Structure 1
Amino acid sequence: MKTATVKQLKDELKHNSTEELVELCLRLSRFKKENKELLTYLLFESHDESGYIEAVKQEIDVQFETINTDSYFYIKKSVRKILRIIKKYARYSLKKETEVELLLYFCNKLKDFKPSIKRNVTLTNIYDRQILTIKKIVGTLHEDLQYDYNLAIEELEE
């Protein structure tokens, strides 16, 4: 089966009634957890972005608390998992400010993590890459936001 393009899907969806669209959304939500999560964000959380950010930060805290610190191998796996979660939630929002906030929070948590990430090259590289990603995104934002976020970045780089 050949998958239709986004334009084709958009044109076809215009011809459906509201009832049919609701049914399609519900059917879509049954197939993948991510579809259900995205619908949850769009319907319940998109109107309160700061609340959404706080909820994701709480989840990040929980994830950091459950990291197995027996070896750096387990720490790396867990840190990558947390980063995947952050990227997924940032993708739902589509707001660059949200992504920057979440990545800054992640970098702060990683910087303060015990045992120190400075003893492991891979973890240090993950941290440095996220700082570069934040800088790249901040460069596209409004000047006032750039100033505020650059202060936070400088604090992380100390």
Structure 2
Amino acid sequence: MKAATVSELKKALVRLDHDDLLDACLRLAKFKVDNKELLTYLLMKSADEQAYAREVCDDIDEQIPPARSIHKKTMRKIVRSMEKCLRYSGDKETELHVRIHFCREFVDRGIRFGNCRVSANMYAAQMKKIEKAIDKVHPDLQFDFRHEMQGLESLLR
């Protein structure tokens, strides 16, 4: 079965009455955990972006190991989880807050990559994504986020 385009789906959803639309959303939520997570974000968390960002940061804190080094598999898992949550939000400020928090945790906890270039490259990729996202926010916020980034490059040396 070939999936319909987004515009075709939008036209079909507009024609549905309230009960049918509710049934369609509930059926969609039953099929995949990602659908359920997105629906949870849209219905319950999108109203307070700052609280959502704090929640994602808390999840990151729980996933980062207390040891002074990190496995590349653990780091991939954390990054994958973070990316999924940021995709739900789509807000650049939330993205910056979470990505900077992620990198700041590595610096604050004194985590070293050692000989693992994969982990160092993942960290560098996060730094590049932060730089790209900073360019897309308001100039007043750019200064604040650049100030928060001070010292994060030290792990790349």
- Deviation of the 1:113 alpha carbon: 4.2
Higher relative contact order (CA 8 A, sep 6+): 2
What TM-score do you get using the length of structure 2 for normalisation? 0.90
CA distance in 2, matches of 1:5, 1:110: 41
Superimposed CA distance per residue, residues 66-121 of structure 1 (whole angstroms, 9 cap, x where no aligned partner): x7x6x86xx11011110011110011111011111111111112234455125432
Given the alignment, which residue of 86, 100, 106 partners 2:96?
100
Aligned equivalent of 2:48 = 48
Q: Which AA in structure 1 matches 2:148? A: A
Count of aligned pairs between the two proteins: 154
Superimposed CA distance per residue, residues 28-66 of structure 1 (whole angstroms, 9 cap, x where no aligned partner): 00000010001111111111111111111111111113x
Q: Which AA in structure 2 matches 1:30? A: K
- Deviation of the 1:23 alpha carbon: 0.4
Alignment of 1:66-105 (within 5 A): 75-105=71-101
Secondary structure at 1:34 match in 2: helix
What TM-score do you get using the length of structure 1 for normalisation? 0.90
Unaligned runs of 5+ in 1: none
CA distance in 1, matches of 2:100, 2:24: 37
Aligned equivalent of 1:9 = 9
Is 1:142–2:138 an aligned residue pair? yes
Aligned equivalent of 1:58 = 58
Unaligned runs of 5+ in 2: none
Aligned equivalent of 1:127 = 123
Q: Which AA in structure 2 matches 1:123? A: S
CA RMSD of aligned residues (A): 1.9
Q: Which AA in structure 1 matches 2:142? A: Q
Aligned equivalent of 2:35 = 35
| C-alpha contact 1:38 1:92 (8 A) present in aligned 2 | yes
